Amino acid sequence: MSTVKPAVHTSEHKIPELGSKHGAMVPGDALEFQGGAANKNTGTLQINFPRAFAHPPVVTISPYWAGQGQEVGHTDTLSSVTTTGFTVVSANQAANYYVMWLAVANK
C-alpha cells in the first residue's frame, strides 16, 4: 500500500464563504489549501492537518474504495472541524477504503 502525503498550497484570492465583504473577491488576501487521503478502517477517522490553519477551514471529503467498482454503503460525514483537524464518521471501513479530503481557509 502506498502512502499519500498531504499537500499544502496557497493562493492570492479570498472566497466569499470564508469572510470577504459582500461576496467580492479580494486580491491580496491569501487562501491556504491542504489536502490528502487517509485509510478509513474504523467507524471514526480523525485527520490532523499537516499544519494548523489560522481559522477553521471549509472541508470537503470524498470516498475512494480501491478495486471495488461499486458504490459505498454509507455517506461519510464530518462530525467536527477545527483549526488542527477534522473527524469523519460512517460505517464505511476497509483496508482498501480511503477518504480523500480538501481543506480551504483564509490565511
Q: What is the mean pLDDT of residues 88-101?
A: 96
- Per-residue pLDDT for 53 more than 70? yes
Please tell me the predicted confidence (pLDDT) of residue 26. Answer: 46
> What's the CA gap between 13 and 22, in Å, rounded?
15
Q: What is the mean pLDDT of residues 25-34?
A: 70
Please tell me the predicted confidence (pLDDT) of residue 22. Answer: 46
- Per-residue pLDDT for 44 more than 80? yes
- Cβ count within 10 A of residue 40: 24
Q: What domains does the chain contain, in order, with CATH numbers?
A: 7-106 (2.60.40.3940)
Q: Work out the pLDDT band at 95, boundaries 50, 70, 90.
A: very high
Please tell me the predicted confidence (pLDDT) of residue 17. Answer: 52
Q: What is the mean pLDDT of residues 5-28?
A: 50
Torsion on CA atoms 62, 65, 66, 69, rounded to nearest 10? -110
- Per-residue pLDDT for 32 more than 60? yes
Q: Give the global pTM.
A: 0.74
> What's the CA gap between 1 and 14, in Å, rounded?
37
CB 99 within 8 Å of CB 61: yes
> What's the CA gap between 83 and 40, in Å, rounded?
21
